[in-house]
Amino acid sequence: GGEQGACSTNANASQVGLTFDNVLGGAREYLRYLLRASFAIAVEMLTYKAGDEILSSTPFVYVLGKEGRGLMCDYCFLESPSLKRCSACRYVSFCNKQCQKLAWPDHKVECAGLRKVSPNVPDSSVRYFCRLLVKLSNKNAWSEAEEVFGKQRCFTDLVSHVDSIKIDHPRYFKEFKRLWETSKIFLDDKYLPEPEVGLEIYGKMIINSYCICSDEHTPIGTGLYIGPSILDHSCSPNAHAVYEGHKLHLRAAKDINCSNVDGIRVSYIDVMAPRKVRQEELRSQYYFECKCVKCSDTVPDYVTEKSRALTASVKEKMKKIDMQAMQNTAILQQIHHWTEELLETEQLSETDYARIHALDLQAKCCLALEDYRGALPPYLARESIYRECYGPHSPVYGVLLYSIAKLFHVTVQLTEAMEYFEKAEAVLAVSHGRSHSLYKHLKFSYDHCKREVENPGKGKGITLKLQ
């Protein structure tokens, strides 16, 4: 039968003037066409201009941190002057009945846990882990999918690095064990998986979570976003996340033209640090070594560090301010004086790691003391550093420019204020987009300043909110 079939095929081919080579050549050409077409489609799918929204995502699980407690709604993460506490646990707050109702599926079990351990309150990391355990006690949640770049992704797909965590003794025996033991007190047994599964959940949580930021790009909470967790790290990212409440918007920081998701990179850490510091943080937090351009030995390290001890002392003072000193004028003045002396006597290079943090510390002290003229020099001194470290379309850089504009405005230096409002507008239009609430606030402030320039002495006071 085989020979007969072959003879018949050859005869038919010769009748229409085809040879084996012609057929093979045509097949090759068609295959090349298909490959070119599929490649073109792939590239077209992943081509973005700077400022384009790449994707948006709502969190699988999230929690408001202590930074936002009492200021923001625990459900929508928006600020509200009239927050109402949950009448049962008296701990979480909502801006209205609708948010309370929408939050109930996630808060129901937590609410009972908070009442059980009252007056003690577990920290936000415990609440976050417990929310994840409760959600995943429903087996269907493991396969609850989110579409990202044309593919379905679910919690099961997330990387956990469990093997690395097991040999990372400080993380395994301190962090995980603390969370696990506290969860056993906080939750009923029916929500607790086997310890090995608990460790896997913990691993997926710490490796894949995003820090949720306010409009001013300060941390206010933590969220696990299934779709965006597919993205890998670079110290020179071409995309960044901004937030509207708890909703994540991933935006292109520069033009992107790539054939697959590997060509879209975000930063897992604060990239305004020396190479060695960045690499240590990535190894200890995420268990990998970065091979990006900025981590190459061939590229000079932009941020330098004269003394690790000096940097540590500045960061320690920053913690002190964040924890207790914002309302204590004497401590603020003391720390402000300390930073001034450090900046004058240490002879640090412009891009020294300790100096950058000292400028930030000095600015925070001035703002808390309402010395807005005094805050301008440490803000201005960081402008070129932020642009270089974070990129010209970074949210962090845009927020810095906006803060400088508001400082010039409130100190009635209107020409300079207009210049920086325009600079900030150009960045925020890309980093956040014109529909974002921060961009709208900027436009309002800019128009207000413009009216004052055009009608001297007739402007009303502005509300200053700076970071």
User: pLDDT of 221-263, one tens digit each?
Assistant: 999 999 999 999 999 999 999 999 999 999 999 999 999 999 9
Angle between helix axes 97-117 and 177-186 (nearest 10 degrees) is 100
| Angle CA 198–199–200, to nearest 5 | 90
- pLDDT (tens digit, 9 = 90+) per residue, 385-433? 999 999 999 999 999 999 999 999 999 999 999 999 999 999 999 999 9
Q: Tell me the backbone φ, ψ of residue 87, rounded to 5 degrees.
A: -70, -20
Cβ neighbourhood burial of 304 (10 Å; 0-12, 13-18, 19+): middle
- Give the span between the Cα atoms of 250 and 362, in whole angstroms: 32
Task: Return the structure tokens found at 47.
Answer: 């081509």
Q: Which residues contact 15 (CB under 8 A, 6 or more apart)?
A: none
Place of tokens 């969220």: 223
Contact 77/245 with Cβ under 8 angstroms?
yes
Element holding 55 (H helix, E strand): strand 53-57
CATH for the stretch 382-467: 1.25.40.10
Q: Region 130-150: what's the mean pLDDT?
A: 97
Long-range contacts from 7-15, C-beta under 8 angstroms, 24+ separation: none
Instruction: Assess contact for 294 and 275: CB atoms under 8 A.
Output: yes
Q: What is the pLDDT of residues 171-200, one digit of tens each?
A: 999 999 999 999 999 999 999 999 999 999
Helix (H) or strand (E) holding 54: strand 53-57
Given pLDDT bands bounded at 50, 70 and 90, which one contains residue 465? Answer: low
Of all helices (H) and strands (E), which one includes residue 334? helix 329-345
d(CA 187, CA 198): 13
